[in-house]
Structure 1
Amino acid sequence: MRAQVVLFDGFDPLDAIGPYETLIAGGIQAELVTAEGPREVTSGVGLSLRATTGIDPDRADVVLVPGAAAQTEDEIIALLAKAAPTLAAPIQQALAKQGLTVATVCGGSLVLAMAGLIGGRTATTNHLGLQALGSMGVNAVRARLVDDGDLVSAAGVTSGVDLGLYLVEREISAQKALEVEELFAHERRGTVWRAA
């Protein structure tokens, strides 16, 4: 099992590292990737991480898109809008691949909506972006996690660890998710909305 956590200029480091570390602790191989390939990527708070390869849905079972970090909502939206065209083609390929799950944390679902990839789907994002998500043709749900089959989204920035645990439970086992939860001294919370 392999996960790719997507980085882009201005990404929110907690959105990326929370689920990345959780997935690894759960026994899922994870790597940091970009649409452009290996490079240093600077987050919206100045922390830089190195992506080791490019997005490759053929080598992944999960592709995870984080949100962005900045001082104001307008700056966050601008960062997400800048990332959307670059990520559109590889994420569209990921969504089309049978058996692959695309996951998002916080504004990651807005990136996908801005790229025109999840119209008519059900997703969540940070409570501040729910109205914007809904205005882009997405069924925006106020829930901690939304499981819409091959699209799993998490709400605010701290929900990334919950997303990682949920994916470990869904893809590996409930027992493994419980072990990671205990290891991290983290207790999952909130509602998981699931497609009927």
Structure 2
Amino acid sequence: MTSQKLLELIDLTAHAHRTVRTLSGGTRRRLEIARALVHNPRVLFLDEPTNGLAPHTRAAIWEHLRRLCQEHDTTVFLTTHHLQEAEHCDQIAIIDHGSLAAEGSPRELKAMIGADIVTLRTDDDAQVAEAVHRLLGLPTWTGPGGVRLRTPDGAALVPRLCAELAALAVPVRAVTVEPPTLDDVFLHHTDRPL
């Protein structure tokens, strides 16, 4: 890839003739990535490569890294605490205190958790949490976001859940179903908060 194309990819064309010390933090980060890519490496080590970048720049960098891997058979090793970055990887290894806690593709790791998170926003979270536990036998927890519970198929549970809770005098304002995230996988395998 030519230097000009690389500058365009990383959105640095307008800064091509500026000195590094005059660049903002995000622009410097993009320059670091461009420097790592300039020689078309066979193996590339990146540490939180898109941290602090604008969404359009992040998307362009991930697209280039995908093409680099596919077209040039480049292997990219990524280290990150931002697990959204790890979603772009083919394989993930979760390392906790120097030991391998889990490994697999993002899909495989999420499947290990195997449970959606259902969140209920109500006018009385404590009463709803107790009712869900009593009526459905599911453990719940409450927090600022509402009543939460884990279930293998959240979408299938919602109609039954709403029917069971209809008898309560407490209105359910909203129900959301979220599949497991890599953050959930990390917390599950390390058994401690991020």
Give the structure-2-normalised TM-score: 0.23
Give the structure-1-normalised TM-score: 0.23
Q: Which has the greater radius of gyration?
A: 2
| RCO comparison, higher one (Cα < 8 Å, 6+) | 1
**Higher fraction of helix:** 2
